[in-house]
């Protein structure tokens, strides 16, 4: 049954509460429309299931009495509909977010919902680009833009991602006052965590080349990287630039701005870099996050070990 048909099963009070929460997500939390649509579909399906499961209209009072058993039934039914663990985890996250808000507004205890455990699923391993592919990507974006200054800008951004391991938000958060780039950058990343990042000469030169041809004045408090009309450059614009380039190069859809950051870590590891030092450069709070970068290479190294090490050979 589709979400549209399921909406007729929801009580008016629950429907109104859901719409109010969605507006809250849109207005106060800045959720994107695709996110709002996903939330709405997930929660309509959840509320409709509870109506059918309980054989009664789920007004706000009934929603406050949902039990752990009810939650298990919903998860079992969702899994039986060929919903994978990753998608089920996303749906459960939406339900929990809605319930936190609803419980605070209506004054009930949401423990049964919030204590429901998310299904475990294997994390997707990063897919870094090879050195040749990363180089080809930067070369390609340097010739595909119609305006030379835009091409220089795109090269500078990608060089920062690959050469310094910056997140796209960190690169685009640089201000005019940060240029010319110093030998090291002080970056404030996720959770306000500060780190020091060495700047390669190639990255510094790429930014200098961009600034020389950028038609907009370098203002200390303005974004370093400008969009076509002079405003701050958006991450989606760089994502599109890379999408166009990877089509030309025949690279997979995983060749994204974040893949350039993954490549930074992997190429440092390939060159013998220390895992903890790379953790600091990337701004990872946990070493295990950095270790995810090594998973593919570890498998390759173990294969070499098993074929060549004297002990492995017997």
| 236 CB-near residues (< 8 Å, 6+ apart) | none
Indicate the angle between helix axes 85-106 and 33-54, nearest 10 degrees: 80
Q: Is 284 a catalytic residue?
A: yes
Q: What is the DSSP letter of 194?
A: E
Q: Is 190 a catalytic residue?
A: yes
Q: Is 146 a catalytic residue?
A: no
Q: Is 258 a catalytic residue?
A: yes
> CA 246, CA 136: separation in Å to the nearest integer?
9
User: Which residue of the set 140, 204, 262, 284 is catalytic?
Assistant: 284
Contact 285, 193 (CB under 8 A): yes
Preceding amide of 7 cis, omega within 30: no
Contact 203, 291 (CB under 8 A): no
Helix (H, G, I), strand (E, B) or coil at 116: coil
User: Which residue of the set 140, 226, 258, 267 is catalytic?
Assistant: 258
Q: Is 261 a catalytic residue?
A: yes
User: Which residue of the set 91, 261, 262, 267 is catalytic?
Assistant: 261
User: Which residue of the set 65, 72, 190, 276 is catalytic?
Assistant: 190
User: Which residue of the set 39, 99, 210, 293 is catalytic?
Assistant: 293
> CA 310, CA 69: separation in Å to the nearest integer?
56
Query: 158-170: string of b/e by CB count within 10 Å (b at 16+)?
Result: bbbbbbbbbbbeb
> CA 263, CA 165: separation in Å to the nearest integer?
8
User: Which residue of the set 167, 204, 226, 262 is catalytic?
Assistant: 167
Q: Give kind and range of the element (H or E) at residue 186.
A: strand 184-188
What the block records as the tokens of 229 is 């009309």
- The region that residue 202 occupies, defined by phi over 0 for left and psi between -120 and 50 for alpha, beta otherwise, is alpha
Q: Is 124 a catalytic residue?
A: no
Catalytically active residues are 167, 190, 258, 261, 284, 293
């Amino acid at each position: 049954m589709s979400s549209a048909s399921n909406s007729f099963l929801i009580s008016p009070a629950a429907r109104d509460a859901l719409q109010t929460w969605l507006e809250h997500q849109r207005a106060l939390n800045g959720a994107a429309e695709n996110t709002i649509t996903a939330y709405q579909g997930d929660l309509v399906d959840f509320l409709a299931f509870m109506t059918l499961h309980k054989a009664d209209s789920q007004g706000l009072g009934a929603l406050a009495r949902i039990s752990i058993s009810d939650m298990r039934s919903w998860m079992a039914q969702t899994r039986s509909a060929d919903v994978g663990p990753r998608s089920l985890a996303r749906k459960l996250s939406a339900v929990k977010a809605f319930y936190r808000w609803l419980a605070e507004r209506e004054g009930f205890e949401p423990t049964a919902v919030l204590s429901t455990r998310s299904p475990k699923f294997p994390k997707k391993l990063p897919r870094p680009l090879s050195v040749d592919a990363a180089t080809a990507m930067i070369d390609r974006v340097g010739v595909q833009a119609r305006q030379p200054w835009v091409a220089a800008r795109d090269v500078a951004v990608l060089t920062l991602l690959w050469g310094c391991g910056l997140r796209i938000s960190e690169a685009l958060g640089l201000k005019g006052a940060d240029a010319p780039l110093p030998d090291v950058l002080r970056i404030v990343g996720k959770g306000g965590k500060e780190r020091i990042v060495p700047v390669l000469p190639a990255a510094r030169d790429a930014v200098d080349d961009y600034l020389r041809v950028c038609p907009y004045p370098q203002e200390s408090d303005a974004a370093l990287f400008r969009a076509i009309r002079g405003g701050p450059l958006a991450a989606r614009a760089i994502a599109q630039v890379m999408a166009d380039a990877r089509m030309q190069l025949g690279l997979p859809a995983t060749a994204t701005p974040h893949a350039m950051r993954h490549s930074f870590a992997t190429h440092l590891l390939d060159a013998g870099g220390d895992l903890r030092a790379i953790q600091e450069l990337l701004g990872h709070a946990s070493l295990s996050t950095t270790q995810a970068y090594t998973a593919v290479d570890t498998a390759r190294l173990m294969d070499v070990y098993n074929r060549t090490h004297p002990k492995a050979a017997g």
